[in-house]
Every structure is written in C-alpha cells, then in structure tokens.
C-alpha cells in the first residue's frame, strides 16, 4: 500500500492512473507535522474516496468511476502552534495531492490459430492468442453440428494472453462424405458472444465396411471388390483377409439350367481355369422327370474344357434338362 505524506509547502504525487469501472487503490496517510491532527481529504474528477478525514497512520481508498477524465485527490492538515499565555499562535497547513487519469478499458482482441482439415478419428490442438485479456480469463469454443466429435464445446483459460484447447473427432465407421465444420471462439459461455471463427473440413476416412461389388474381396472397408466372385472379410487392421477367395473351400462361380437336345453342343460357357481340376469342378446334373425311370450314363455326357470356359453335349437321346454348375475349390 503506497503512502501519501502531507508536507509544509505541499507534496504532489502524479501518474496514478485507473481504468474506468476498475479496481481502486488504498493509501496510508502520513504527516511531516509530527502531530496526530486530522487530515481532511477531498476530490475532483471521476473518482470516489472512502473517507473525507483520516489521522496519520490511517488509510483511505480511491476508486475510479465508470466515466473517464483527469482526477485530483487533495489532502490538507492544519496545525496550530503557540497560543500560550500572553503569546500569539500560528497555523501551518500541510498539504498533498494525488493526481492521475481515469481511462476507458483497452479493447480486448481474440484470434484463433491455424485450424487444419482433419480425418475422422484424429485430434487437433488449436492455439488462441489474445490482447488486453486478464490472466485466468475463461474462454469457450463450440463446433457446429453433433455426433462428429467427442465434445462439440468446451472451455480453457488464458495466461499471458495465450491459451489452447484440443478437439477430437470420432471414427464413426459411416460413409457420409466430407463435411465442412465451423469452429467458434466465444466469451461468457459455450453459447456466448462469438469473437472469432474458422472453417475446416472433416474428411470421411472412417467409412462403412463393405464386400466386393461383384461378390469379390473387399479391400480395407472399400465398397469395391478386387476379385470376380465371392466375399472377403478383413481383419481389424483393415488389410488382412481372414476369409476370402483364396481361403474358402468351395464357391459356385457358374450355374445354368439347360434344355439340351441330344448330339448338340452348347456353349462355350465362360469360366476361368475350367480345365484346371485343382481349381474348378464342373458337374452336369440330369433333371429326371417325375415318375420316370430314364437315366443318363456318365459316358453320355461330354464336357470339353479350356482355360477360359467349357462346352456341353450329351448323347442320351431326345431333349433332356440338365443343371450345369462350375465350382471353384480352395
């Protein structure tokens, strides 16, 4: 606490400035008179004083008003000496002044640092720079929308006109496309006055898992397959196939019902590796009519195979119905 001393001849203390509506300053009163006579206190300008009279050793407070301008606080102590029998007396006035200015509070400013585009499931720390913001001030942020981040709002504290916070996006395993998000910096609350904002793209990297578009092997959750037939199931790392074309025991790659006349060649039917019995098995199933004892001998079925397909012909007489099936084996 500063001291103001009243002196014979005056004592002026200058440059004690305030912010309008801000905190006040207490002073201890002292006197060069060596007496304990009361010191009167008065003021002019946009300040208030807590007392109009103090004795040496006591204190008072100057508090700025909400208006602005110069102020003066004046202190005065009148000390009378002499005055004994037959003698005269004299009065000495000890004075002091405290002077300064009450100014408007400086305007604060707020600025978000770089806000980058981010993948789903990623984190990003955002820096904030301020000016004329007191240490310990709480600021707030909000992100438009819902369900895309672990939290769409929060708070942090300013120290030395800087601070930071982290946003964490969610890997939602949903195909929804990239999204434009707006991050808003606020005062007062998460829905308070917006003082800065930035837009960024949330990249849809966490998409829905899917198998092959034509029944083939899915790749890392892609919806487009890489094999011609079947289904591939990927492990947790998104790359290891735990069930796929090279792991299954069998898989039908071709099937058709054919009404075939005896002696007529049908086809070719397109089946890769049809002539490789370690990869493809081809069957011809004769559909025997109800209540019929007709049979077809194996020697009456002719399958001609190549690397790209096969043809079918039978010599069992008449027109008969067959189901032709090609099975891929593991």
Q: Looking at the structure, do residues 139 and 76 belong to the same domain, yes or no?
A: no
Q: Could you tell me the residue range of the domain that residue 222 belongs to?
A: 209-246
Q: Looking at the structure, do residues 216 and 178 belong to the same domain, yes or no?
A: no
Q: Looking at the structure, do residues 115 and 129 belong to the same domain, yes or no?
A: yes
Q: Looking at the structure, do residues 44 and 95 belong to the same domain, yes or no?
A: yes
Q: Looking at the structure, do residues 242 and 254 belong to the same domain, yes or no?
A: no
d(CA 325, CA 327): 6
Q: Looking at the structure, do residues 52 and 127 belong to the same domain, yes or no?
A: no
Q: Which of 59, 29, 25, 65 is nearest to 44 (CA)?
A: 65
Q: Looking at the structure, do residues 9 and 98 belong to the same domain, yes or no?
A: yes
Number of domains observed in the structure of the chain: 4
Q: What is the CATH number of the domain that holds 115?
A: 2.60.40.2030
Domain boundary among 82, 103, 124: 103
Domain boundary among 39, 70, 103: 103
Q: Looking at the structure, do residues 241 and 181 belong to the same domain, yes or no?
A: no
Residues sharing a CB contact under 8 Å with residue 128, sequence separation 6 or more, in sequence order: 110, 111, 112, 113, 139, 156, 158, 162, 163, 164, 165, 185
Q: One digit per residue, pLDDT tens: the chain, 330 residues?
A: 999 999 999 999 999 999 999 999 999 999 999 999 999 999 999 999 999 999 999 999 999 999 999 999 999 999 998 755 556 688 999 999 999 999 998 999 999 999 999 999 999 999 999 999 999 999 999 999 988 999 999 999 999 999 999 999 998 888 889 999 999 999 999 999 999 999 999 999 877 754 444 444 344 444 444 444 556 666 665 655 555 555 545 678 899 998 999 999 999 999 998 999 888 999 998 877 777 667 777 789 999 999 999 999 999 999 999 999 999 875
With tokens 């079947």, the residue in question is 230
Q: Looking at the structure, do residues 283 and 317 belong to the same domain, yes or no?
A: yes
Q: What is the bridge-based pairing of β-strands 109-112 and 123-131? A: antiparallel
Q: Looking at the structure, do residues 62 and 116 belong to the same domain, yes or no?
A: no
Q: Looking at the structure, do residues 13 and 84 belong to the same domain, yes or no?
A: yes
Domain boundary among 39, 69, 103: 103
Q: Which of 38, 41, 37 is nearest to 27 (CA)?
A: 41
d(CA 228, CA 212): 8
Q: Looking at the structure, do residues 10 and 98 belong to the same domain, yes or no?
A: yes
Q: What is the CATH number of the domain that holds 81?
A: 2.60.40
3-state SS, residue 170:
coil
């Amino acid at each position: 606490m500063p001291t103001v001393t009243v002196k014979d001849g005056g004592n002026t203390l200058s440059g004690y400035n305030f912010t309008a509506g801000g905190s006040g300053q207490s002073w201890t009163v002292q006197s060069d008179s060596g007496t304990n006579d009361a010191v009167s206190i008065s003021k002019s300008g946009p300040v208030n004083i807590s007392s109009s009279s103090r004795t040496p050793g006591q204190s008072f407070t100057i508090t700025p008003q909400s208006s602005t301008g110069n102020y003066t606080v004046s202190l005065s102590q009148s000390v009378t000496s002499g005055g004994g029998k037959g003698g005269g007396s004299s009065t000495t006035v000890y004075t002091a002044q405290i002077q300064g200015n009450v100014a408007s509070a400086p305007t604060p400013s707020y600025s978000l640092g770089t806000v980058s585009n981010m993948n789903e499931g990623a984190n990003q720390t955002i820096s904030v720079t301020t000016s004329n913001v007191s240490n310990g001030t709480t600021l707030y942020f909000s992100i438009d929308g819902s369900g895309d981040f672990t939290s769409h709002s929060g708070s942090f504290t300013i120290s030395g006109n800087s601070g930071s916070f982290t946003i964490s996006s969610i890997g939602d395993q949903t195909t929804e496309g990239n999204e434009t998000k707006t991050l808003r910096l606020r005062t007062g609350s998460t829905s308070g006055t917006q003082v800065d904002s930035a837009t960024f793209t949330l990249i849809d990297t966490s998409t829905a898992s899917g198998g092959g578009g034509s029944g083939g092997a899915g790749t890392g959750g892609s919806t487009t397959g890489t094999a011609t037939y079947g289904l591939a199931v990927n492990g947790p790392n998104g790359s290891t196939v735990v069930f796929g074309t090279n792991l299954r025991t069998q898989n039908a790659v071709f099937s058709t019902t054919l009404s075939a006349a005896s002696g007529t060649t049908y086809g070719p039917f397109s089946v890769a590796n049809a002539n490789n019995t370690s990869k493809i098995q081809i069957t011809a199933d004769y559909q025997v009519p109800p209540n019929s004892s007709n049979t077809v001998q194996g020697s009456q079925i002719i399958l001609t195979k190549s690397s790209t397909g096969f043809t079918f012909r039978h010599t069992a007489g008449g027109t008969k119905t067959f189901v032709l099936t090609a099975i891929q084996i593991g």
